[in-house]
Amino acid sequence: MNDQHRIVSSESEELILVDRADNEVGFVSKADAHDGAGILHRAFSLFLFNDKGELLVQQRAPGKRLWGGYWSNSCCSHPRRGESMQIATSRRLLDELNIEAELEYVYHFCYEAHFGDAGSENELCHVYLGKATEPVQPNDSEIAAIRFVSTVDLDTELADYPERFTPWFKQEWEALQKNYREQLGRYCDQT
């Protein structure tokens, strides 16, 4: 099957439940983790930049249960039961973007975001930075569109149209710019 159309996730895959200190406390299906107010589970968000220092952003596929059609960071997902973060992030880069990339861990945080009656995110999310040095070929079962955007243009878009972006992306980008400027500066110009 063509890698740009294959189904790479399901509501039945088992995610890792954690406490607020990121200790594993159990496992639950992806569906159950996102029902109602959600159950705190481990996740990750990846921010990939090209050689010009532009951020790869993706528009989530419209069929996604939560925030379908919204713009977000380069790649985000969850480690599955038994997966390390390194294995999960590598798997997901291949699943969604058909690329490999070296990643630098930056920080983690807990957040909750509700998406009407469809469910919620309740995640302890690990945030990584990296370079996209290979041609990106998005999997259209996960991604509707991609583009590279300068940090200046991204900041303008986030200020003018915040409703177009996922809640975790907005929180993470603000934290990266405010608290992790040195690490972020290795990947992009923060003018």
Supply the DSSP string of 36-99, one letter for each residue.
TT---EEEEEEEEE-TTSPEEEEEEPTT-TTTTT-EE-SEEE-PBTT--HHHHHHHHHHHHHS-
The question of whether 76 is a catalytic residue gets the answer: yes
Catalytic residue, chosen from 76, 125, 142, 172, is 76
The question of whether 123 is a catalytic residue gets the answer: yes
Catalytic residue, chosen from 14, 123, 142, 172, is 123
- 26: which 2 tokens? 């159990």
Dihedral through CA 142, CA 145, CA 149, CA 155, nearest 10? Answer: -70
> What number of CA atoms fall less than 13 Å from residue 154's CA on the CB side?
27
Residue 18 contacts residue 109 (beta carbons within 8 Å): no
Gyration radius from the chain CA atoms: 16
Q: Which residue type occupies 154? A: L
Residues identified as active-site: 76, 123
